[in-house]
Structure 1
Amino acid sequence: MTNKWSKISLLLLAILLVATACGKGNEGASDPGKDSAEKQITLTFWHHYSTASPEEKTLTGVLIPKFEAENRGIKVKPVAIPWDDLHKKLQIGGSGGDLPDVARLDIIWVPEFQKRGLLQPLDERFSDFNEIAEGLLEGPLSTAKVGEHYYGLPLNTNTKVLFWNKDMLGQSGIDKAPETAEEFFTALGKIKAKYDKSWGYGEPALQGWNILPWIWSNGGDILSPDFTTADGYLNSEATIDIVTKLRAAYASGQLAGFKPGDVPVTEGHAGGSYAMMAEGPWAVAQFQSQFGDFAFEMAPFPEGSAGSVQVLGGEDLGIFSEDKQEEAWKFVKFMVSEAAQVEMGKIGQIPVNLDAMENPEIKAVDYYAPFLEQLKTAKARPPIESWPQIDGVLSDTMSSIFMTDKDIKSELDAAVTKIDGLLQIN
């Protein structure tokens, strides 16, 4: 009897052990899900796409969901911040430690944040950097290089072309857009003779973005190739020559747009105040949305002795993250991939991905063609930390030259002294 109950006890014990093991097995089955949730990585992405803009809608409604579907375990939290506020927030965050994992940066910010040690050197961190970089436009890619290393990848690019009013030029006896600087200045005089209350050309500011194309195309520059001095460049004969011609055009009432109270340039071009202007693809969108009846024309920027050289604009993607670098790199690579670039390209962001530029959907955007051609010779502003301050000196100097009859070389010499001082500080 005792032996019988012993056997029963052993059987019950075995059943209990199996049940316990099964219970542990079920408990273990829930752990992977829990561990998976704990391993979920969230990337913060600060950008300056306007809220509810087509770009922001495509980012949040198309691109991020696609990236997350292709990269299980990585979530992206986009944060929209206005351009100037984003710059300040990154500056403050760099001091306080509150920074995003990835950010969309104006190309002129990269040297500043690189010098502060906030951006990751991508070509040193990631073994496939060169493979990715080879598939991108060389000009935009150069904007992310500081010294010997790359601290970002280009996200989108832009430049400016010459917009011209075919009717105004035709009425002035000009049957095509001016192809050279000489033809341009001759056209200004003819337009003024026909349209006394209008201007041949509108320029909204006198900063580097506006003035450098004229200087570069005329064979001048603002800094030496190694960015160590402005002497012999900003005050060179080539620079003096083109600035003299531009000031004479302004003094003759042939050029306007940069003074407070002047007719806004893009609106003024559509309204007949300015026969010509140099602007980017955003002007096309503005014409189409606000001035549907205006028949605008586009042409290459007028050639000088050095060719037709416009300024390169755009944004780069930079990685700030210290502990999520691999995940951040995956997101950056996705954003510069053909698929993502095509999606953004369809709504007005000129791609930097070479395959995307050849994509039929991008080629179908008819107004891209002049900009893509101009990009072949576009040039980036100096990739140095002190550029914002140098740009301020340039703008102030040009304002003084245009608004007064001061000696141009003397004004440029004074600017050289200030700029060289800034270069020494940095």
Structure 2
Amino acid sequence: MTNKWSKLSLVILAMLLVLTACGSGAGTGNESASESGGKATGKQVTLTFWHHYSTASPEEKTLTGVLIPKFEAENPGIKVKAVAIPWEELHKKLQIGGSGGDLPDVARLDIIWVPEFQKRGLLQPLDEKFSDFNDIAKGLLEGPLSTAKVGEHYYGLPLNTNTKVLFWNKDMLAQSGIDKAPETAEEFFADLAQIKAKYDKSWGYGEPALQGWNILPWIWSNGGDVLSPDFTTADGFLNSQATIDIVTKLKAAYTSGQLAGFKPGDVPVTEGHAGGSYAMMAEGPWAVAQFQSQFGDFTFEMASFPKGSAGSIQVLGGEDLGIFSKDKQEESWKFVKFMVSEAAQVEMGKIGQIPVNLDAMESNEIKAVAYYAPFLEQLKTAKARPPVDSWPQIDGVLSDTMSSIFMTDKDVKAELDAAVSKIDGLLKLNN
């Protein structure tokens, strides 16, 4: 009898174990969050997100304190580990990581980096990987979206956009006999001379660097360029007469003490504009936030960048989101879509990041940011830097060339011709 009960007990125990497993819904315990519909019934997936928002900045605080918690609440199977890395260090870290395999799942990329990492095969082609790409893309600004396209495919989505406008000190210009911001390049250079005559120890214009971000607006607005329309050569463009003419005028302004800001030891441009060192500068919306937080008593004015023969053409800035992940692509795509959604874009827009989401731009909260207006107007004619993978190296050549032109007696055309030779060499090397 004891033996029979023992066998019966074993059978009952086995049946209970089977029923318990079926009723728990636990499965194998190995299904991913994407396979379980984002519910916390499988293992947790952790995404690594590298970005270059400054630590403790309003952007970083909003990302980590508002957006990521909201995303995680909506996607309980996914956690996001955000890592803040300074801009230049992030670029190098991604370059090194591409060789060593240490890469994030998602990264906030300067728009000029996308072609470089696409060529190395590090970025996922989003329009090929995800069937709802077109549905998401059509809700975003066309210009910023184009910065993520290399060849026939999109390797990212725009996260935010920006450009620069002319900031001008109304009091300094008035004291110099000028009653408005210069509307044309001709007026601009004439104003520099008048300002210098009034303020011998100040400068009419501050420029913090001589890279493409700083120089291209002048070249483009004057009808020049750095590369040909098909991005195959600099010859006939960087050394064109239109480029030579505007660079010569800028050099003359520097030599006459009317322009400064890019040399080590110069007064920082944004702080100098608020302090009366520079009567004018070209900067982005982040300058407004800096004025408001650090120079509350300073009244700043904004206007469109001075028009040249080709119009008022500023440089298009901003960042794209790229997916590097090979094994967490669905989860990464969910995070990217969330970051470009209306709700997330409005949150970032309220603290100075110009949205790329069309619905977000129409929201009352974004329209209430009054200082966006001149930037949105300037964005209508802003141009992106050339989408070539060698642009960082080309930008270095451009910066070195401009430094040589401005700070030596070397011939402008000869220096631009030499730069053309170097840039064409880079283009051939990378093709």
TM > 0.5: yes
Counterpart position of 1:91? 95
Counterpart position of 2:191? 187
Structure 1 position 11, deviation (Å): 9.7
Q: Distance in 1 between matches of 2:57 and 2:182?
A: 35
- 2:282 is paired with a residue of what secondary structure? strand
Amino acid at match of 2:144: P
Amino acid at match of 1:249: A
Q: Distance in 1 between matches of 2:406 and 2:83?
A: 41
- 1:32 is paired with a residue of what secondary structure? coil
Counterpart position of 1:166? 170
Amino acid at match of 2:242: A
Q: Distance in 1 between matches of 2:289 and 2:261?
A: 20
Counterpart position of 1:368? 372
Structure 1 position 188, deviation (Å): 0.9
Q: Distance in 2 between matches of 1:403 and 1:393?
A: 15
- Per-residue CA shift, 1:261-303, capped at 9, x if unaligned? 2111111111111110001111111111111111110111011
Counterpart position of 1:316? 320
- Per-residue CA shift, 1:70-122, capped at 9, x if unaligned? 22322222222222222222112111112111111111111111111000111
Amino acid at match of 2:369: V
Q: 1:136 aligns with which of 128, 140, 145?
A: 140
- Per-residue CA shift, 1:341-368, capped at 9, x if unaligned? 0011111111111111111111111111
CA contact (8 A) 2:341 2:357 kept: yes
| Over 3 Å off, 4+ runs | 8-20, 27-31, 33-39
Greater CA deviation, 51-60 or 360-369?
51-60
Q: Distance in 1 between matches of 2:221 and 2:122?
A: 35
Q: 1:236 aligns with which of 237, 240, 248?
A: 240
TM-score with structure 1 setting the length? 0.94
Counterpart position of 1:381? 385
Q: Distance in 2 between matches of 1:16 and 1:204?
A: 81
Counterpart position of 2:397? 393
For the pair 1:21 / 2:15, whether they are aligned, the reply is yes
Counterpart position of 2:81? 77
Q: Distance in 2 between matches of 1:182 and 1:124?
A: 48
CA contact (8 A) 2:26 2:42 kept: no
Matches within 5 A, 1:212-227: 212-227=216-231
Cα 1:24–1:124 shift into 2, 3 Å? closer
Counterpart position of 2:158? 154
Q: Distance in 2 between matches of 1:224 and 1:179?
A: 28
Q: Distance in 2 between matches of 1:240 and 1:16?
A: 93
Greater CA deviation, 253-262 or 159-168?
253-262
For the pair 1:205 / 2:199, whether they are aligned, the reply is no
For the pair 1:43 / 2:47, whether they are aligned, the reply is yes
Greater CA deviation, 225-234 or 46-55?
46-55
Q: Distance in 2 between matches of 1:119 and 1:27?
A: 41
List alignment gaps of at least 5 residues for structure 2. 31-39
Q: Distance in 2 between matches of 1:85 and 1:384?
A: 21
Amino acid at match of 1:194: K
Greater CA deviation, 172-181 or 40-49?
40-49
Cα 1:224–1:11 shift into 2, 3 Å? same
Q: Distance in 1 between matches of 2:141 and 2:252?
A: 38
Structure 1 position 389, deviation (Å): 1.1
CA contact (8 A) 2:52 2:90 kept: yes
- Per-residue CA shift, 1:378-413, capped at 9, x if unaligned? 111111111111111111111111112322111111
Q: Which has the higher helix share?
A: 1
Structure 1 position 129, deviation (Å): 1.4
Structure 1 position 52, deviation (Å): 2.2
Q: Which has the larger radius of gyration?
A: 1
CA contact (8 A) 2:314 2:381 kept: yes
CA contact (8 A) 2:282 2:305 kept: yes
List alignment gaps of at least 5 residues for structure 1. none
- 1:350 is paired with a residue of what secondary structure? coil
- Per-residue CA shift, 1:234-280, capped at 9, x if unaligned? 01111111111111111221111111221111111111111100011
- 2:83 is paired with a residue of what secondary structure? strand
Counterpart position of 1:67? 71
- 1:95 is paired with a residue of what secondary structure? helix
Q: Distance in 2 between matches of 1:206 and 1:344?
A: 29
Q: Distance in 1 between matches of 2:51 and 2:119?
A: 21
Q: Distance in 2 between matches of 1:188 and 1:251?
A: 12
